[in-house]
Amino acid sequence: MSFILLGILNSAAGGAGSVAGYFAGGLQASGVTTVDKFLFPSDSRSTLGTGLSSARDATGMSDSQVAGYAAGGNNGSTNSTTVDKFAFPSDSRSTLGTGLSSTRDSSAGMSDAGVAGYIAGGYEAGKVATVNKFAFPSDSRSTLGTGLSAARGAVPGMSDSGVAGYAAGGFNSSNTNVATVDKFAFPSDSRSTLGSGLSTATRAAGGMSNSGVAGYIGGGFTSGYASTVNKFSFPSDSRSTLGTGLSTSRYSVHGMSDAGVAGYFGGGANDNDLSTVDKFAFPSDSRSTLGTGLSNSRRGSAGFQNEAI
């Protein structure tokens, strides 16, 4: 079973009125290359003519108004180092010459728009603490001297662009779920660990954020499939739990955001793969479910977006 956590991607604080969000790749019985695009604010869905370069789940990060990225992942049997890049607004795809520093799946994606994107943790044969940093716009890769506070996989990410990126929960080298939330301050990349982690130790949740306001970690697997959505207010990082969680309990959900307008959790799985896309309106956090979900039921897509910042 592969758990992929979808990165929460970025925008400038206080921005509103974005362009589009994307759910890229994923797993069914095996990997798919499908990339669905949702136009903001109508939420109308189309499917890109060019999907991922290989069928797999992946982790997302984005450089709004420039490009979105689908990194690493698993095709149902083998992990990957591949990083596919989709240039905005054409959505043309290229593959970075330098991928991840090691083959891995189920990492956290974090982004500091205009500066860098990060792929944190995940698992190969075992869990890793590695954090790769891709500098924008060159896409040159480095590895942070300070990784996650502990090796873990099935980690969701969220971002407060220009301020910090977060890697939340997951499961450790003993295959135990954790509630830990690591915070990486931009631009120094110094790491701290929040005093308040997730409300419940969780792996395979999804992340999305309203940059400058709050980040959200939704769904996942605790002792069973979860629908809980934790909200971390920026800049205090104080945690609350939304009264309305996901419409369906599920893991390997993925997230994307239209800062100032809404955040989306899409797909995932419980006993079956799902195509459901839940929308949380900002700032009320009221939830609705899109009439048009993903073009096919799948788990572990990479979430990224092009935000009009």
What does the pLDDT look like over 161-186, one tens digit per residue? 899 999 999 999 999 999 999 999 99
Amino acid occupying residue 114: G
Q: Is 190 helix (H, G, I), strand (E, B) or coil?
A: strand
What does the pLDDT look like over 240-284, one tens digit per residue? 999 999 999 999 999 999 989 999 999 999 999 999 999 999 999
- The CATH number of the structural domain formed by 20-306 is 2.120.10.80
What does the pLDDT look like over 57-100, one tens digit per residue? 999 999 989 999 999 999 989 999 999 999 999 999 999 999 99
The sign of the CA dihedral 148, 149, 155, 159 is: negative
pLDDT at 18: 73
- Work out the angle at residue 139's Cα, subtended by the Cα atoms of residues 136 and 204, and round it to the nearest 5 degrees: 90
pLDDT at 17: 53
Kindly give the pairing relationship between strand 262-266 and strand 277-281. antiparallel
Q: HEC profile for 54-74? A: CCCCCEEEEECCCEEEEECCE
Is it the case that residue 39 has pLDDT exceeding 80? Answer: yes
Could you tell me the residue ranges of all domains in the chain?
20-306
**% pLDDT > 90, the chain:** 89
